[in-house]
Structure 1
C-alpha cells in the first residue's frame, strides 16, 4: 500500500523550522525546505504478498511505518505513522434520539442519516443513500419488542417513533438498523428507567465564609451545614443524613496569576499521567444524624498542623439525605485551607536550556487574592541532575550521576516580578 505524507521539522527549543533535514520513511526519503516542510509521495508500508492477501479478502487495512528525521549528528524517530487503505465503497450512519433516557409507556423518537461514500481516485465522495431500512427494537434483556421497515427519503434520512410497553425491562435498550441490499448495519442504544420526580431539594454550605489558614499548634474549625426543603412547602425534618468528609492536597493559583506556577510544578512532558508522587489523601470520615424541624443538620470539621512540605488542602463534605420514601439526594460543599499567608510563583522563559547559557526566570510573591507583596526574602534553589561519562578501574565506560545545585536569593517587589538568571552547568 502506498501513501502520501507531509512532514514538518522544527527545532525543539525555539520551534524554528529546520532546513535540509533528511526525512525518511519506508523506501523513500526527501529533504525539508526553508519552512521545514517536505512531502513524500508513493511510499510503501507493506510488501506485495500482504497486499495481494488484502485484495483477496476485500477488507480495509491500516498499516504503519516509522518516520526518521536526520540533520547533522541529530536524529529522531516517530513511530506508528498510519496509512488507511480503503478501495471499497462504504456506508456511514449517524443516528440519534430525542432524549436518551425514557420511562415505560413513553414515546421514543429516533432519527438518522445514511451516506454512501464512493471512492473516486484518492477521494471519497458522499452521496445520499437510497433504499429501505429494516429495523428491530430490543429491550435491555434482548427480547424483541417490534420489527418494521422505513424508507429513506431523498436526503438519505429516516425518522421512526415507537412506544415502550408498560412492563418493559429496565436498562439499555437498542435498535438495529440495516440496509439489506448493501449489507450495511448499525446499532443505536437508549436507556429505560423507572424513576420518580424528587419531592424535596437539598443544599449545603460552610461557615464562616473567610479565608482559612493552617496553624502549627492552634486548632481551627469549620461548620458544614445541609438543609432539605419540600417542594410542596415546609422542611424535611427528622430525615436521616450520612456525611462523608474527605480531605487531600490540591493546587492553588491566586486570581489573575495563571501565567505563573505556584507550589509543586508538574513537568509539561508528564501531562499524560499523574506523576505527583507527593500528593496526600487523608482518610475519609463518616458521620450520621437527623435533620431538625428546619430541615437542618450541622457538623464541625476541625483541623490543625502543617505538613513537612506545606501544601494547599481542599476539604469536601458530602451529605446524603434520605426521606421517608427512601429517596436519597446528595449535596456537596467544599473549602480550601491555605498553608501560609503568601504564595511564591515563578515563570520560566523557556522549558529547555543549554549548558552555560543563562535561563531567565521571573518570581513573584502574592497574597491569596493575587496582590503583589513587597520586601519578602525569596530563596531559590535550582537543582539539575545528569550523568557524566567516565572509565572505571578496568577501563570500561560507565556513567556516574552528577548534580548541579545553585541557591539564589532575591527580595520581592509590589511593583513587578523579580528577574532571576541562573546558568545550567549540566547539559
Structure 2
C-alpha cells in the first residue's frame, strides 16, 4: 500500500524565510526519483531548483507560479511504496526507487544527478499537448503543437521574461545551438503579441503580462530580491551615520600596469576591478578598523579578522553583491578569476546564498554606467564602501605640465561611528596613491 509523504519548502539558510514559485518541473501523476528537482523557485538571493527527497508518484502540488511560499509550507505530496511507483514510463536506478528519502535539504543540491523523466499521458489528451499550453484549443485540437520534455533554456532570466509576459516557452523555437531558446527569441515573441491591435479592439485579452492601456499606473511589488535590497538600504540609512569623501586620481599608470599584465603569458586576464580589489585589501591591512561592523545591541565596534570583499554587480534581476571570500589572501590573478566566476553566476541567477552574504567591505564600480561620482549607501551591516567612477581622458597637471591623462574619481563612504575623518582620509589617499603609482603596493609585498 502506498504511503503519501509531504515535502515542504526546506530551510533555505542565510536568513531566507520564503521563496517565489517560478515554474513547476513536475505535474500531478508524474513519477519522480529521489532528489529529482520538482520546482524552480526564486529567493531574494538566487534562482534555484528544489529537489524532492522522496521517490514515487506526485499526488498533489501546492501553489502556482508567482506565489510566495514560506519555509515549511507544503510543496508537493508523493505516494511512495505503491504500485504506481513502479510505473514503467520512467526508468531509473533501483537505488533511487522506493520510499526512502535522500535526507538532502539543501536547495538546488541532491545526492545524485537528475534522472530523466517522461510525463504520463492523461486519458483523452493528445501526445505533445498539455492543459494550458499555448496553442491548445477546446476539444483536444491543437493549433500549434507543443513539445513535451525539458525546455531548452539555460538562463533563468529568459524564463522570468517569458513568465512576466505570459509566454509558454514550449511553444517557441529557439534560434540558439541545438534549439536553445535565447532572450532574443522571447523578445521577438513578446513583440509579436503586442502587434495585435485588432484583438485588443475586439476585447480579446492578451497574455497576463502584456502591457495594459496607456496612461495606467504600474505597480511593482517590493518582494524577492528587490524587497530585500530595499529593506537593507532603508536600514542602512536609518541606523548608520554615514559620511562621504572623494578625490580625483590619475589612473594612467594603473591602466599601463594592467596592459602589461595581460600581455604576459597566462590565461586569466586581469580586470581593472581586480586591481582595485587588490588595492582595497592592501588599504584595509593598513586601516583594519574599517573592516568592521557595529553591534548596536552591545554598543560595540566589531573589527573583523578576514576581508570578505563584496562587489556590486548589476543584473536583469537587480543589484546583487557577490562576495569574494578571504580576499586578503588572494593574488591579483586569483581575484580576477573569482570576480569573473561570480559575475557570470550573478547574471545567470545561480549564485548561492553563501556567495551573496557575509561581506565585510564593498567595492562599487559605478563607473561602468558612465558616471563620474556617487555617494552610495553602505551595504548594511558593513562599515564602509569604496566607489569608483568612470576612467576618462581629462586635462591634468603631470610633472609640472598640462597633459591629457586617464582620470578617475574615487569616493569613500564610511560609518562615522567606526572612524573619524583622519582614518577615512588616510584610507582614501592610500588608495589614490596606489592607483596613481601602482609600485606603492610593492612596499607591502
TM-score of the two chains, using structure 1 as the length reference: 0.17
Higher relative contact order (CA 8 A, sep 6+): 2
- Give 1 or 2: higher helix fraction: 2
TM-score of the two chains, using structure 2 as the length reference: 0.17
The structure number with the bigger radius of gyration is 1
